[in-house]
Amino acid sequence: MSKQISFDSSSADFLIGKQLPLLADGLQAARDEAFADVELLRSGGEVPNNKQPLDSGFIDLPQRLLAGEDGLLESMQSTAKTFGEKIDRMVVLGIGGSYMGLRALHEALCDPYHNELERSARGNVPKLYFEGNNLDNDTLSSLLSLLKNQCTNPEELLERWGIVVISKSGGTLETAAAFRIFRQALEEYYGADSDLAKELVIPVTGETGKLRDLSNSIGYEATFPIPDGVGGRFSVFTAVGLFPATVLGIDIKEMLQGAADITEVCRTKPLGENPVLDYVAACHLLERDHAMDMRVLSTWGNRLEAAGLWYDQLLAESLGKHERGATPLTVVNTRDLHSRGQQHQEGKRDRVINNLTVGSVGTDAISLPEMAANQDQDLLNRIAGKTIPELLQAAISGTNKAYTDDKRPTTDMELPQLDAYGMGQLLQMLMLATTIEARLIGINPYGQPGVEAYKNNMGEILYK
Ligand code: PA5
């Protein structure tokens, strides 16, 4: 069985089939430009104004890390092992690109009840908590109370916790404020001068900036870099995602291999044999020729929701510029068929439904039990023996048929399995697709000047 992610837009052919071949040259040129941007970045040459900022470094990063660049994988793996063996709770602080990628990996690849399992059933890795991704007093206060009430003896492994603080700029208020608060709690717990207070904080940050300065000044033992040339929302395959993922026991080499493999497919294959280009082509033509500028990522399974939210950010922050760019929306089916389904079926014809499915489930398929005749009022005995994946497949096919019957376009992306290799492919594919689409429509995908506007205003209000 092929391990490669697949993409099929034949259900949208009735709208875009004729235009697809005409787009091939322009699309392949946009792809070549996106890859040439990597050369430009690596050459250290002058970057023209219209390409600044240039954050194309994510494209060849998986390959470079696998080839041993800076020994980073080995040093992350060894620090992650020591860190994970010393704590039972890992608090990860970060927001936006410094948060959502790890959340996507955790939800897709760890047990859905990770934090509720005994340590041994979790593979001997810590529980995971996110903070610093909002200014929400209630969640912040609850996590601090939980740590305070459940952690009273720092000598006990099961009562030890540590912090991974992630901020490329080091200047993001949400994360910086949370770090100050959790650092104070951590120092109170272990003693400000103790070795543990230093060992159990791992900063992940840019080469320069406030968090880098703070880390140097406090003298944290391990600080991992977010390289220049890799933007926040493109940073999941830097230490931002890789370090905490390693602590959680995720096979990051497999993941990077998936990312590197899809990059090579994207770089070399023509339209029609290239899932990345095929995906961009379908979405772009539906938007350009049919005003379908709502892009619905229709995930079939709870474990892909966070990957969808990560993609919402990626698409919105990268293409939402100059009054352009599609609006992303993630749905989780079948759950959201009972909420948004009505609008997708009969609402405005302004959207493409991009299905994201998983070929085979990772757990034993559960089947519907047969009940005694006097308990068959729900009339489910007629499908007794069918499995949950079979019911899901019926929902997928039935939903797609309903859209097709009403001439509403869909596309189908399928991961053979929900594993580290597949997630590597999926996230890299969506990052490449976003970048190529940006080059196709003449937008710089990197940078987020609109986000800076709110940050500046907030600073003016707070620091006046
Ligand atoms: O994509 C981006 O660059 C942003 O979403 C950032 O990741 C987000 O603003 C957090 O920034 P930082 O990592 O500098 O704290």
User: At 205, which amino acid appears?
Assistant: T
Q: Could you identify the atom of ligand 1 that is nearest to the CA of residue 455?
A: 9
Report how far apart the first and last C-alpha atoms of the chain are (Å, whole number).
61
Is 269 a residue of the active site? Answer: no
- Residue 74's pLDDT is 97
409 is a domain residue: yes
Q: Could you identify the atom of ligand 1 that is nearest to the CA of residue 94?
A: 15
DSSP 3-state of 167: strand
- Residue 2's pLDDT is 73
Residues 452, 283 contacting (CB under 8 angstroms): no
Q: Are residues 298 and 417 in the same domain?
A: yes
Q: Are residues 285 and 136 in the same domain?
A: no
- Residue 362's pLDDT is 84
455 is a domain residue: no
Count of C-beta atoms within a 10 Å radius of residue 235: 27
Domain count, the chain: 2
Count of C-beta atoms within a 10 Å radius of residue 268: 11
Q: Pick the catalytic residue: 86, 210, 290, 455? A: 455
- Residue 459's pLDDT is 85
- The H or E element spanning position 288 is helix 275-290
72 is a domain residue: yes
Q: Are residues 322 and 429 in the same domain?
A: yes
97 lines ligand 1 (CB under 6 A): yes
Q: Are residues 413 and 304 in the same domain?
A: yes
132 lines ligand 1 (CB under 6 A): no
Is 3 a residue of the active site? Answer: no
Query: 116 to each of 9, 88, 99, 128, 150, how far by Cα in Å?
Result: 40, 12, 21, 10, 14
- Residue 361's pLDDT is 87
454 is a domain residue: no
Q: Are residues 143 and 211 in the same domain?
A: yes
50 is a domain residue: no
Q: Are residues 81 and 191 in the same domain?
A: yes
- The H or E element spanning position 376 is none
DSSP 3-state of 402: helix
Q: Are residues 72 and 211 in the same domain?
A: yes
Structure tokens, 171:
């200047």
CA distance 434 to 276: 9
pTM passes above 0.85: yes
Ligand 1 center to residue 229 CA distance, Å?
Answer: 13
Ligand 1 center to residue 439 CA distance, Å?
Answer: 22
Q: Could you identify the atom of ligand 1 that is nearest to the CA of residue 233?
A: 1
- Residue 1's pLDDT is 59
169 lines ligand 1 (CB under 6 A): yes
96 lines ligand 1 (CB under 6 A): yes
- Residue 451's pLDDT is 84
* Closest residue by Cα to residue 5 from 269, 250, 244: 269
Tokens 């609850």, residue? 142
- Residue 456's pLDDT is 85
Q: Are residues 36 and 91 in the same domain?
A: no
Q: Domain limits at 390?
A: 6-43+269-449
Ligand 1 center to residue 99 CA distance, Å?
Answer: 9
pLDDT (tens, 9 = 90+) of the chain, 464 residues, equals 579 999 999 999 999 999 999 999 999 999 999 999 999 999 999 999 999 999 999 999 999 999 999 999 999 999 999 999 999 999 999 999 999 999 999 999 999 999 999 999 999 999 999 999 999 999 999 999 999 999 999 999 999 999 999 999 999 999 999 999 999 999 999 999 999 999 999 999 999 999 999 999 999 988 999 999 999 999 999 999 999 999 999 999 999 999 999 999 999 999 999 999 999 999 999 999 999 999 999 999 999 999 999 999 999 999 999 999 999 999 999 999 999 999 999 999 999 999 999 999 888 999 999 999 999 999 999 999 999 999 999 999 999 999 999 999 999 999 999 999 999 999 999 999 999 999 999 999 999 888 888 888 888 899 88
Residue nearest to atom 8 of ligand 1 (CA): 96
